[in-house]
Amino acid sequence: MVSQVLSGALYGVDVRTVEVEVRARKDAVPDDEKKDSGITLVGLPDTAVRESKDRVWSSIIACHRALPRGRVTINLAPADLRKSGTAYDLPIALCVLAATEQIPAECLRGAMIIGELALNGKVRPIRGALAMAMHARKLGLRCLILPKENANEAAAAGGPPVYGVSSLSEAIAFLTGMQNIEPVHFDATHLYENMYDGLPDYVDVKGQESAKRAFVIAAAGNHNLLMIGQPGTGKTLLAKRIQSIMPPLTPEESMEVTKVHSIAGVLGPNAGLIVRRPFRDPHHTVSDAGLVGGQAVPRPGELSLAHCGVLFLDELPEFRRNVLEVMRQPLESGYVTLSRATGSFVFPARVMLIAAMNPCPCGYYGSRTRQCHCSPLQIAAYRGRISGPLLDRIDIHIEVAPIPDELLTARRNGESSSSMRAKVFAARQIQAQRYQGTPIRDNSQLSGKMLDDFCPLSTECANMLRYIINELRLSARAYDRILRVARTIADLEASEHILPMHINEAANYRLLDRQ
């Protein structure tokens, strides 16, 4: 007898439908009379999938069901799509039971089933549950059955009813009507209400009000930012508080971010939607594959895990040159394309880059209290590790100066995150109204004709900007960056038009261009 059920295969951030088919003799033998039956698994499976037959057979025995007699053929269609991972264990086990008429084959129709099995029949969580649920919604299926730990995540997709099971026995009992399982419902309201709880506050940062101003501008327009300063001036302290002033993810962004994290396998058990903008800070020893994604079956890298959030690169010149250069295209386009023999995979990567570096290898160039021992050649080589094209893609360069003694010993009474967040929210609201009906979400995405349409300049502003470009010998890309930052500064001031003072402040954030 042949039985079949639907499952899914991850393909980048998308899902492809996989039909699990099993042909087996309907007569069966008890497990104590089991003989070495022949099992054939076809459909381009990888090692993890080929090993599923051992997990499936052990799980069937653990739930006191009979094993099939004779040869069993398991097919994963379509045959030209490579299957990887362990999510096919549960659908294969249920198909085997249906093929041997131990459960009705009709109970599998219209359902998508995914899940990994342990040897004792327990169901373990899998990657990509949200993506699977979104695919099931697209197909209009009857229900989705998956591990209980993934149920909240899948229910957030708003698709067909989601049923979480903890064992193969529970799945059998539910499908045969012997046990009732309530569908999982997910409400993200409480997540939005508490999203800023526990985040570090900018009130902890002593001084550095000018740097805080730059961070408000960066958060308001989603601009990339580079900090240059001596060790101990608070660069990392400032960067790690950026989440506390950024707006929550929109429902659409939340689905995108959660799906990427789920596919990467970094979403915790029983997690629902991610509503807080991600903050990723990889070590400077990260490889280019770790940053943009890789492996034989590509998974999202740090750039994609920071999608709609912040990628913080501390000690920027210490990153390998090839690692930094692979960021150039994703920073501009907002996505990563990985080409493999099996096809091309596209991962979202629209991030705000926050980077930090010392002024020289020893870190004390320009210090009034410590002597710098670096030669001009060493300083030039150190800064030369960051290419000009990459610097052009960073909107704001600022210097983070040492904190004066009188501020260092004083009480912390600087501007708080809540105050800074209110300014960011107001500016973002202006941008949302301005770009309504367009694919643009924030000022950092302005380019080409959009700059002319949304950033008109008076004669005075145009003359000032022309003078700045000539004096600093800026590239066309740097010109666009200044204009975008000026647009954000104007939004923070609730100014409809860009004024000369906005242009002047935006140009002052091109520190490395001035040097």
- Upstream peptide bond of 251 is cis (omega within 30 degrees of 0): no
Assess whether 158 and 31 both reside in one domain. Answer: yes
- Whether 423 and 289 share a structural domain: yes
Q: Which of 231, 229, 196 is nearest to 210 (CA)?
A: 229
Three-class DSSP labels, 223-263: CCEEEECCCCCCHHHHHCCHHHHCCCCCHHHHHHHHHHHHH
Q: Are strands 343-348 and 162-165 parallel, antiparallel or unpaired?
A: unpaired
Q: Looking at the domain assignment, is residue 303 inside a domain?
A: yes
Query: Is residue 142 in a domain?
Result: yes
What is the C-alpha separation between 317 and 133, in angstroms, rounded? 42
The answer to whether 117 and 167 have CB atoms below 8 angstroms apart is no
Domain co-membership, 24 together with 74:
yes
Give yes or no: residues 64 and 167 share one domain: yes
Per DSSP bridges, beta strands 343-348 and 335-340 are: antiparallel
Q: Is residue 208 part of a domain?
A: yes
Distance CA 70, CA 110 (A): 29
Q: Can you tell me whether residue 445 is helix, strand or coil? A: helix
Same domain, 164 and 212: no
With respect to residue 48, please indicate whether it lies within any of the assigned structural domains: yes
Give the integer Cα–Cα distance in Å for 389 and 204. 35
Residues across the chain:
515
Asked if residue 189 belongs to a domain, the reply is no
Q: Which two tokens stand for residue 14?
A: 């998308």
Calpha distance 501→4 (Å, rounded): 68
Give the CA angle between residues 222, 241, 193 to the nearest 5°: 85
What b/e string do you get for 206-239 counting C-beta neighbours within 10 Å, with b at 16 or more? bbbeebbbbbbbbbbbbbbbbbbbbeebbbbbbb
| Domain stops at, among 128, 157, 175 | 175
Q: What's the domain count of the chain?
A: 3
Q: Which helix (H) or strand (E) holds 164?
A: strand 162-165
417 and 489: one domain? no
Q: Give yes or no: residues 458 and 425 share one domain.
A: no
How far apart (Å, rounded) are the C-alpha atoms in residues 368 and 462?
A: 38
Q: Show the tokens assigned to 331.
A: 């920073």
Residues 7 and 63 in one domain: yes
Q: Do 412 and 463 fall into the same domain?
A: no
Q: Is 403 exposed, middle or buried (0-12, 13-18, 19+ CB in 10 A)?
A: middle
CB 317 within 8 A of CB 188: no
Residue 181 lies in a domain: no
- Please check whether residues 9 and 145 belong to one and the same domain: yes
Give, in order, the Cα–Cα distances in Å from 6 to each of 18, 127, 145, 241.
6, 17, 11, 45
Residue pair 306/351 in contact (Cβ under 8 Å)? The answer is yes
The residue assigned the tokens 């550095």 is: 208
Same domain assignment for residues 161 and 221: no
Whether 162 contacts 114, CB under 8 Å: no
Task: Assess if residue 184 is contained within a domain.
Answer: no
Q: What is the pLDDT of residue 30?
A: 52
CATH number at residue 15: 3.30.230.10
How many other C-beta atoms can be found within 10 angstroms of the C-beta atom of residue 54? 13
DSSP assignment letter at 32? G
Amino acid at 340: R
Q: pLDDT of 374-417, one tens digit each?
A: 999 999 999 889 988 888 889 999 999 888 777 777 777 788 89
Give the position of tokens 């501390």.
314
User: Which of 306, 350, 316 minimizes the C-alpha distance to 330?
Assistant: 350
End position of a domain, from candidates 157, 175, 193: 175
Residue 470's domain comprises 446-515
482 lies in the same domain as 507: yes
Cα–Cα distances in Å, from 462 out to 57, 291, 396? 74, 39, 20
For residue 276, the cross-strand partners are: none
d(CA 127, CA 359): 42
Q: Please tell me the predicted confidence (pLDDT) of residue 36.
A: 46
What is the full per-residue pLDDT of the chain (515 aa) written as tens digits? Answer: 889 999 999 988 889 999 999 998 655 555 544 444 578 899 989 888 999 989 999 999 999 998 888 889 999 999 988 898 899 999 999 999 999 999 999 999 999 999 999 999 999 999 999 999 999 999 999 999 999 999 999 999 988 999 999 999 999 999 999 999 999 998 888 888 888 888 999 988 888 889 999 999 999 999 999 999 999 888 999 999 999 999 999 989 999 999 999 999 888 777 888 999 999 999 999 998 899 887 767 889 999 999 999 999 999 999 999 999 999 889 988 899 888 766 788 899 999 999 999 999 998 898 888 889 899 999 999 988 998 888 888 999 999 988 877 777 777 778 889 999 999 999 999 999 999 988 888 999 988 888 888 988 999 999 998 888 888 888 777 888 899 999 999 999 999 999 999 999 999 998 877 65
Q: Is residue 259 part of a domain?
A: yes
DSSP 271: -
DSSP letters spanning 479-499 = HHHHHHHHHHHHHHTT-SS--
pTM of the model: 0.88
* Domain CATH for 343: 3.40.50.300
Q: Is the distance from CB of 354 to CB of 224 less than 8 angstroms? A: yes
